[in-house]
Structure 1
Amino acid sequence: MAKTRNKAEIKAAKEQAKAARKAASKQRRAQLWQAFQIQRKEDKRLLPYMIGAFVLIVAASVALGMFAGGITRFTLIPLGVVLGALVAFIIFARRAQKSVYRKAEGQAGAAAWALENLRGKWRVTPGVAATGHLDAVHRVIGRPGVIFVGEGSAARVKPLLAQEKKRTARLVGDVPIYDFVIGNGEGEVPLAKLERHLNKLPANITVKQMDALESRLGALGAKAGPAAAMPKGPMPTAAKMRGIQRTVRRR
C-alpha cells in the first residue's frame, strides 16, 4: 500500500511540475506577444527591419543551397529559416530595449531600476544616499570593485558621491572605487549605456572578495542608521516591462 501511495504521489508531483512549466511557458509567450505589440505600435520601423532581415537571410540560404546542390540544399534552407527568425527576434529585442531605456531616461529612480536589471554577478544596493530633490547614489559591488552611481542634478550628486567614497575607502583598503553620474552631459554616462560602461571596467577582485565586501559594507550601512530612502518620484514607465525584458533575455 505504501509503495502504491508513493508512486501515486510521485506521479501527481510530476504532473503538477509539468503543468507549472506549461503555465510558465504560456505566460512567457504572452509577455513576448504583449511586448511585440507595444513596440510595433511605437516603432514603425520594427516590422520592416524584422521582415527584411528574415527574407534576406532565407533568400541567401536558398541561393547558397541551389548553388551547392545535393543534400546541402535541403539542410541550408531550413537552417536559413531558423537563422532568419533568430535574427528577426534579436532585432526586436534590441529595439525594444532601446525604447525602454529612452522612456526611462530622466525619470527619478531610472538608474536604480537599470542597475537592478543588470545581467551578471553584480550586488546592487539602491539609495545608499539621497537628497530631498530626488537625487540618489546607488552602490554596486562587482568584479571591478565598488562602484557608486549617482542620478539627479550633478551639482547635488557629486558631493554625495565624494562622501560615500570617503566612508567606503576606510573599509575596503586597496579595492578600487569607481563613481560616475547618469546623464547626457560631459563626463556623464547615458542610462542606455550604463550596463556596457560597467562591463568595460577591469576585473580587479574575485567573487569571494565580493562576498566579503558586501558583508563589510552592509555593516557600514547598519552603523550609519536606516538606509537612505529611494526618491519617491515616479519610477520609470519602462519598469512595467521589467518582466518582459527578463523573458526576452531568457528566450
Structure 2
Amino acid sequence: MAARSTAPEKRPGFFSQIRTLFTFTREAYRWLPFALAGIVLLGIAAGVGVGFVIPPIALWSIILWGVTGLMAGVLGSLMLMTRLSTSAMYRKIDGMPGAAGHVLSSSLGRNWQASDMPVGINPKTQEAVYRAVGRGGVVIVGEGARGRLTRLVNDERAKVQRVASGVPVTVLYVGHGDDEVPISKLAPTIKSIKKTIDRGTMAAVIKRIDSVSQSLTSLPIPKGIDPTKARAPRPR
C-alpha cells in the first residue's frame, strides 16, 4: 500500500501576515490605525506637492508623484508598525517566566549563541538562569526574584569559570529594579558588551561548557510564555 503523501504546510500569505501584525500591534496601541492613515496621507500630500513644484507641471506628473508618495507612505507605515510590534511584544512578555530565554534565543544575532531553555531552574518558584556565549565572553542571565537567584547564578558562574578560565563572565538580572535590565533592553545590553575573544575561542568555550552541562531535558520549562506565540509576527 502506497504511503499517504502529506502536503507541505501552507504558509500564510503576505496580506494575511500584515493583518495579523496589525491586529497584534493594535492590542497594545489603540491609536495605531490613525497613525498609519496619517502617514499614508502625509506621503500622498508630499508626493502631490512635489508634483506641483518640479517641472513639467502636468496632470500626469502630479499623479505619478502622488503614487510615489502613496508608496512611500505605505512603506513608512509598515516600518512604524513593525517597530511598534516589537515594542508590543516586549510589553506582553515582560515579567513572564521564560521571557529572557525567548529574547536570548531570537534576538542576539550571529555573534552570540543561546537557547530558550534555562541552564538552571527552581521548579517550585520558577526562578531560572540562562546562558549566552559570544564574542563578549559568557553572559549569565537571571530571571525571577533576585534573592532566590543567588545560588543558581553562583553555581553557573563557577561551572563556567572552571571550564573556561580567563573568559569574561557577565551576570545580568532581568527586571526593573536597581542594577537590573528591562526585558526590552536585554538584547541590546548583551550586544554592547565589548568583544574580547575570537570565534575560535568562542566555539571552544561552547564545546567545553556543553560537555559538562547537566542535561535539563527532564526539568519542566517555566510556564507562562510560549515563544512561538509571543514573537511579534512579521511580514515576509
TM-score (norm 1): 0.77
**How far, CA to CA, are the matches of 1:146 and 1:82 in structure 2?**
45
**How far, CA to CA, are the matches of 1:217 and 1:238 in structure 2?**
25
How far did 1:215 drift? 0.8
Query: Which residue does the alignment assign to 1:220?
Result: 212
**How far, CA to CA, are the matches of 1:50 and 1:214 in structure 2?**
45
Q: List runs of 5+ in structure 1 lacking aligned partners.
A: 1-18
> Is contact 1:182-1:190 (8 Å) kept?
yes
Equivalent of 1:98, from 73, 82, 87? 87
Equivalent of 1:130, from 113, 121, 125? 121
- In the TM superposition, 1:97-116 aligns within 5 A as 97-116=86-105
Change in 2 beyond 3 A, CA 1:41/1:147: closer
Change in 2 beyond 3 A, CA 1:32/1:230: farther
- Please state if 1:65 is matched with 2:58: no
> Is contact 2:40-2:74 (8 Å) kept?
yes
**How far, CA to CA, are the matches of 2:190 and 2:157 in structure 1?**
17
> Is contact 2:108-2:191 (8 Å) kept?
no
Cα deviation, 1:60-118, whole Å, max 9, x if unaligned, reads 23223321223986765444322211110111112222222112111111111222221
SS in 1 for 2:118: strand
Q: Mean alpha-carbon deviation: is it higher for 169-178 or for 212-221?
A: 169-178
Letter in 1 for 2:98: G
> Is contact 1:124-1:141 (8 Å) kept?
yes
**How far, CA to CA, are the matches of 1:41 and 1:226 in structure 2?**
39
- In the TM superposition, 1:146-157 aligns within 5 A as 146-157=138-149
Q: List runs of 5+ in structure 2 lacking aligned partners.
A: 1-6
TM-score (norm 2): 0.82
SS in 1 for 2:119: strand
Q: Quick one: percent identity of the two aligned structures? A: 26
Letter in 1 for 2:106: N
- Please state if 1:161 is matched with 2:147: no
Change in 2 beyond 3 A, CA 1:75/1:120: farther
Change in 2 beyond 3 A, CA 1:43/1:162: same
Q: Mean alpha-carbon deviation: is it higher for 137-146 or for 110-119?
A: 110-119
Query: Which residue does the alignment assign to 2:186?
Result: 194
**How far, CA to CA, are the matches of 1:51 and 1:73 in structure 2?**
21
**How far, CA to CA, are the matches of 1:61 and 1:198 in structure 2?**
41
How far did 1:194 drift? 1.3
SS in 1 for 2:120: strand
**How far, CA to CA, are the matches of 2:69 and 2:200 in structure 1?**
44
Letter in 2 for 1:39: T
- Please state if 1:46 is matched with 2:32: yes
How far did 1:30 drift? 2.3
**How far, CA to CA, are the matches of 2:94 and 2:87 in structure 1?**
11
SS in 2 for 1:127: coil
- Please state if 1:171 is matched with 2:160: no
How far did 1:46 drift? 0.6
How far did 1:140 drift? 0.5
**How far, CA to CA, are the matches of 2:219 and 2:98 in structure 1?**
7
Cα deviation, 1:28-64, whole Å, max 9, x if unaligned, reads 5423322312333542111111111222233223223
Letter in 2 for 1:151: E
